[in-house]
């Protein structure tokens, strides 16, 4: 299932989300960035998935990562981005919602 928005944690904080406008599958990066033809590595010529985003939407407050969450993907409802203080808190709230829905 394709996400509608993505957020990227930088320095342990999330302060914006980006709306996914489109996704291209099996597209070599050199098709979109011709300057990369000069790179001697093979990866720019191989098929890749390219994500396109609308401009960033700033959140009302910065969300900290929380303890022990170094490399993690968390899916959540948009309202939790507005009400929670940490990604760890968001993950716990989503787990609770999913259990309640069963």
Mean pLDDT, range 44-59, rounded to an integer: 96
Domain count, the chain: 1
pTM of the predicted structure, to 2 decimals: 0.79
Q: Output the pLDDT for position 12.
A: 82
Q: How many CB atoms lie within 10 A of CB 33?
A: 12
Q: Is residue 17 included in any domain, yes or no?
A: yes
Residue 36 lies in a domain: no
Question: Is it the case that residue 79 has pLDDT exceeding 90?
Answer: yes
Alpha carbons 55 and 57: distance in angstroms, whole number: 7
- Structural domain harbouring 97: 5-22+50-101
pLDDT score of 71: 76
Residue 25 sits at φ, ψ, to 5 deg, of: -105, 150
What value does the mean pLDDT take over residues 28-43? 94
Q: Is residue 70 part of a domain?
A: yes
Q: Tell me which residue has tokens 């489109």.
A: 22
What are residue 52's DSSP bridge partners? 22
Rounded-to-5 percentages of helix, strand, coil across the chain:
30, 35, 35
């Amino acid at each position: 299932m394709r996400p509608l928005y993505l957020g990227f944690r930088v320095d342990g904080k999330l302060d914006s989300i980006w709306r996914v406008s489109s996704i291209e599958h099996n597209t070599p990066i050199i098709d979109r960035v011709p300057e990369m033809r000069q790179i001697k590595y093979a990866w720019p010529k191989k098929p890749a998935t390219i994500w396109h985003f609308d401009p960033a939407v700033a959140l009302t407050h910065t969300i900290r990562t929380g303890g022990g969450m170094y490399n993690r993907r968390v899916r959540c409802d948009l309202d939790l981005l507005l009400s929670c203080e940490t990604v760890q808190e968001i993950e716990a709230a989503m787990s609770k919602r999913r259990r309640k829905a069963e």
